[in-house]
Homo-oligomer: A and B are copies of this chain.
Amino acid sequence: MTSPTVDHSTAAGKFTGSRHIHGQEDRRGQFLRRFQGWPRIPPRRSASVHDLLVFHIVFGRAVQDVSLNSPANLGYADVRFVRPVYTGDTLRSETEVLGKRETSRADVGIVWVHTKGFNQRNEVVLQFYRWAMVNKREPQTKTGDNDSPDLPAQVSVENLSIPTELNLSKFDPVVTGSNYFWEDYEVGERIVHPQGITMEDAEHQMATRLYQNTARVHFNHQLQEKSRLGKRIIYGGHVISTIHAISNDGLENALRVLAFNAGSHANPTVAGDTLYAWTEVLDKIALGRADCAALRLRLVGVKNIDPNLEPLTLKVRDEKSGRDQYHPNVVLDLDCTVLMPKRRR
């Protein structure tokens, strides 16, 4: 996230000519960027850290206690990105166990926790609920635990935090390369992002080490070979980051993640899978500011089916259980709220 201070009218004067001007393009097509580059502001001593990197680092701090041997991280709720983090900041996290419940499988239960991430001034930078499958110490013994907490269905508007240092009144779209502002998105609209990205073991392992997330399923092929998947499982957070990166083509001006209202890792991702994404605009949220507002989005990640070529139903009826289940190629269903600059008048 940057807060460019270049005046648009001045910058526009520097657009270079092009002998071949492309014709009018459709909304999701390639926007003609005649001027490209990062904002011409002097290098800063400290840059803001990407919201998802903050999420992964705070999350990683909690893996040793909660999910080191966990077969699967299941979901998130009420994830609030409270304060920006800058390079040089030091993060720590605290986790409270909220409840647990046994499952139909004797060997695993589900544990609900609430994690808070703090900077070196003990200010909360991030907080979230999550639940994960955890191995039972004694699979034979019923514990009777059944105190899963009630979690909010979304982060309410008053809990969305806009950094006080952020002023987008002079935001210049040449910085991001997109002319689409908050006003240009409509509730119900669906954006299929064009990019597909194939996952590699070396890449997800290095990303996951960066977050100091040491959960075994991500790193030990010999262990995973014997599992149902037969492969190392990619850390769900790396899937979120990849899907988020894919969604940039179409959401270039989503400058900051404000919240994950809810999120599910619908199916696991492994090396060799190619990920794609689409976004549905769920809501447009005014924030009482002239420079920016929020979009509530449903960001869906799928594997090995290109939604640009082949539409895909998110949930399918399972014949056996009679219940709706995620299509086996869906990997992420993330209800999130992002910040977008408003068009200047």
Whether A214 lies near B195 (C-beta < 8 A) is yes
Chain A residues 185 to 200 lying within 8 A of chain B, measured CB to CB, are: 194-198, 200
Contact of A223 among B17, B196, B222 (CB under 8 A): B196
Residue from B20, B41, B122, B222 within 8 A of A306 (CB atoms): B222
Question: Interface readout for A155-196 with B: 1 if CB under 8 Å, 0 if not?
Answer: 000000000000000000000010000000000000000111
Given A19-B96, A97-B20, A205-B203: A65 and B222 interface contact (C-beta under 8 Å) = no
- A200 with B197: CB separation less than 8 A: no
Question: Most chain-B CB neighbours within 10 Å: which of A17, A41, A97, A99?
Answer: A97
A153 within 8 A of B: no
Q: Which of A86-94, A262-270, A287-295 contacts B (4 or more CB under 8 A)?
A: A86-94
A32 touches B65 (CB 8 A): yes
Assuming A43-B88, A196-B220, A198-B232, is B19 touching A36 (CB within 8 A)?
A: no
Question: Which residue of chain B is the closest to A272 with respect to CB atoms?
Answer: B221
- A1-44 interface with B by 8 A CB criterion: 16-20, 30, 32-43
A35-91 residues at the B interface, CB under 8 angstroms:
35-43, 61-62, 64-65, 68, 88-91
Residue of B nearest to A100 (CB): B20
CB distance from A320 to the nearest CB of B (A): 30
Pick the most buried of A42, A177, A198: most chain B CB atoms within 10 A of its CB: A198
A131 interfacial by beta-carbon distance below 8 Å: no
Task: Tell me the nearest residue of chain B to A215, going by C-beta.
Answer: B195
Assess whether A128 is interfacial by the CB under 8 Å rule.
Answer: no
- Please encode chain A, from 222 to 259, with 1 for each CB lying within 8 Å of some chain B CB and 0 for all others: 11000000001000000000000000010000000000
Pairwise interchain contact A30-B94, C-beta atoms closer than 8 A: no
A216 at the binding interface (Cβ < 8 Å): yes
Q: Is B197 touching A37 in the complex (CB atoms < 8 A)?
A: no
Q: Which of B35, B64, B93 contacts A94 (CB 8 A)?
A: B35
A306 and B94 CA atoms in complex are apart in Å by: 32
User: Does A201 reach chain B (CB closer than 8 Å)?
Assistant: yes
Could you give 27 example pairs across A and B, Cβ below 8 Å? A16-B95, A18-B97, A19-B96, A19-B99, A20-B97, A20-B100, A32-B65, A33-B64, A35-B92, A35-B94, A36-B61, A36-B62, A36-B92, A36-B93, A36-B94, A37-B91, A39-B90, A40-B120, A40-B122, A41-B120, A194-B216, A195-B216, A196-B219, A196-B223, A198-B219, A198-B232, A201-B202
Q: 8 closest A-B pairs (Cβ-Cβ)?
A: A37-B92, A202-B202, A198-B221, A196-B220, A222-B274, A43-B88, A200-B202, A20-B97
